[in-house]
Amino acid sequence: TAGADGAIAGESPQTVAHGADGATVEALPVEGHHFVQWSDGMLTATRTDLNVTGDLAVTAEFAVNTYTLTYTAGAGGALAGVSPQTVSHGGNGLAVTAFAEDWHHFVQWSDGVLTATRTDLNVTADLAVMAEFAMNTHTLNYTAGAGGAILGAAAQTVPYGSGGTAVEAVPEE
């Protein structure tokens, strides 16, 4: 027989002559579950009982699949929340939030999720993602007033804590 969350393929019950072999049966789990063992300890889902010399009643045992959700933080950030998490098939993970360190900002998760806080729902597979961060940048704009010009890059984007390239204010002749 099949326990909860599964079925049997093949003939059951079977009537077998003393010393004869039974027909093959297979334990089939429902979606999101897996075969564990038969109640007599046999670990293969498919079984053919050979040289039968007595009555046999066994039950196929099944269990729900579990998945691991692993969250990591890339350079420039940290995480708040549980990682790794173990979630049953179809279940929901717990919220995890990516926090940027000073002078950085959150960009995205490695699977393209754009929100810093995420809760993975209806989990049906393992997941391993990394929060991606980038250093903050600043824009430097130089303009010349009347009667002058700027030599060099008048608009510059520089990482936090870095300097721009040299510019020179030159008067008109």
Mean pLDDT, rounded, for 137-141: 91
Percentage of the chain surpassing pLDDT 90? 90
Decide if pLDDT at 15 tops 90.
Answer: yes
Strand partners, 100: 77
- Res. 51 pLDDT band, cuts 50 70 90: very high
- Res. 161 pLDDT band, cuts 50 70 90: confident
Report whether 62 contacts 34 (CB < 8 A).
Answer: yes
Question: Model-level pTM?
Answer: 0.77
| Torsion angle in degrees (nearest 10) through CA of 63, 69, 70, 71 | -160
Residue 30, both tokens: 């429902």
Distance CA 71, CA 83 (A): 6
